[in-house]
Amino acid sequence: MFWNEEEAEDRLGDNLNNFVDGMADRRNLIRFLLFCGFANLLIWLCVIIFPAAVRDSFVLVNEVSDKISKATLAVPFGLGLFFTYSLFRLKFPDVEEQKLDSDLMASFHYQAHSLRRWWIWFSRFWLEF
């Protein structure tokens, strides 16, 4: 059941591609947006309302394992990143489509589309932090 590193990366890439393709469906996108928004709101409300308890639990987890504490931090930030990405996917549904036509201005349109995609990913990280 142990894969080599290349197979694991291929599976991860396939899973991420399936996830991005699944977000092309607007109904799934809205469901995912609601789930991430509610979970993100719940986590940050707990942080705001019970800061000492959250800090103590994080210190306890950090004493047990550094990897587990990093994974614990990845949950709220990851939910926030996927939430903002879902919001941008609602505004720009064709952001992940990459087709290069044979028109005269095809490379310009592809570059403009790539630039918009880059700004969406960049602003997603900027808004989260």
List the chain pLDDT tens, one digit each, 129 residues.
Answer: 455 777 777 777 777 777 777 777 788 888 888 998 899 899 989 989 999 998 998 889 888 888 888 888 888 888 888 888 788 777 776 666 666 666 666 677 677 767 777 777 777 667 665
Cβ atoms 16, 7 nearer than 8 A: no
- For residue 33, the enclosing domain spans 5-128
How far is it, in rounded angstroms, from Cα 42 to Cα 121?
Answer: 24
> What does pTM read for this prediction?
0.62
Q: How many residues does the chain have?
A: 129
Count the domains in the chain: 1
